């Protein structure tokens, strides 16, 4: 009960509706591959925990990265597979360590929000662009499905995980931008296989959760200040 009370009524409602939406779509269109809804539930859970600045969210993010990498490989989204297994997962580990090392006033369940300056934001954008260029050529070589949006996903993913590790409130908006790209990607996949409906809905609810996380961090930053 204490763990349940840890979340606000809004957070419990968002989590419940998100999970229900994924499961309903899965039961309507798939009923075979339980990895899809399982990954979605893990993902929704880690976003809600991230919204509270809880390092446990980063640990669940590692698990989600492994699941999503396998799902992406199944459809030929090698960019997503390489991004999440080769970049997002290791950087989630970096973020986990950074969050554990920077608790707010000794509270291990809440990270201290960090204010990054404009210069570092420009650096983050440049690094994201450089990583995207590096990833583009191997993605093209392996005939990645829907190459252009897959490449754009690399940019938004790297920016999101960098800002997460730096404990910036803007990480959630970067993830929301990545969700939009992934909604496009999995809409294209759904056109070929209805089993991916639950994956598409997964990122639709991720978008809502990430927007909530952004405002949650804004409130957290003001409270900590």
* Per-residue pLDDT reduced to its tens digit, 171-220: 999 999 999 999 998 898 888 888 788 889 989 999 999 999 999 999 99
Neighbours of 16 (CB within 10 A): 11
Q: Give the list of residues 6+ apart from residue 44 with CB closer than 8 angstroms, or none.
A: 15, 18, 19, 22, 202, 205, 206, 209
pLDDT of residue 179: 95
Average pLDDT of the chain, as a whole number: 90
Confidence of residue 132 (pLDDT cuts 50, 70, 90): very high
pLDDT of residue 69: 87
At 83 the pLDDT is 77
Q: pLDDT value at position 113?
A: 96
Q: What is the pLDDT of residue 48?
A: 95
Question: CA–CA separation, 137 vs 86, rounded Å?
Answer: 15
Token code pair at residue 20:
């229900």
Query: Is the distance from CB of 41 to CB of 22 less than 8 angstroms?
Result: yes
Q: Which residues contact 19 (CB under 8 A, 6 or more apart)?
A: 40, 41, 44
95-121: average pLDDT: 93
What pLDDT is stored for residue 59 in this prediction? 92
At residue 74, does pLDDT exceed 90? Answer: no
d(CA 110, CA 52): 7
């Amino acid at each position: 009960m204490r763990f349940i009370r840890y979340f606000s009524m809004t957070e419990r409602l968002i989590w419940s509706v998100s999970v229900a939406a994924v499961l309903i779509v899965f039961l309507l269109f798939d009923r075979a591959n339980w990895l899809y809804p399982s990954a979605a539930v893990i993902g929704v859970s880690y976003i809600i925990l991230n919204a509270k600045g809880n390092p446990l969210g980063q640990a669940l993010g590692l698990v989600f990265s492994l699941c999503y990498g396998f799902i992406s490989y199944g459809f030929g989204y090698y960019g997503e597979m390489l991004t999440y297994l080769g970049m997002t997962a290791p950087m989630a580990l970096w973020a986990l360590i950074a969050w554990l090392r920077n608790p707010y006033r000794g509270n291990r369940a809440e990270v201290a929000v960090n204010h990054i300056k404009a210069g570092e934001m420009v650096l983050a954008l440049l690094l994201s662009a450089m990583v995207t260029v590096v990833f583009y050529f191997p993605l093209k070589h392996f005939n990645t499905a829907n190459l252009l949006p897959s490449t754009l996903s690399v940019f938004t993913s790297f920016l999101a995980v960098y800002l997460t590790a730096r404990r910036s409130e803007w990480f959630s908006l970067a993830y929301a931008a990545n969700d939009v790209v992934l909604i496009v990607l999995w809409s294209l996949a759904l056109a070929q296989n209805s089993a991916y409906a639950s994956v598409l809905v997964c990122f639709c609810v991720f978008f809502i959760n990430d927007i909530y996380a952004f405002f949650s961090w804004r409130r957290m930053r003001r409270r900590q200040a």
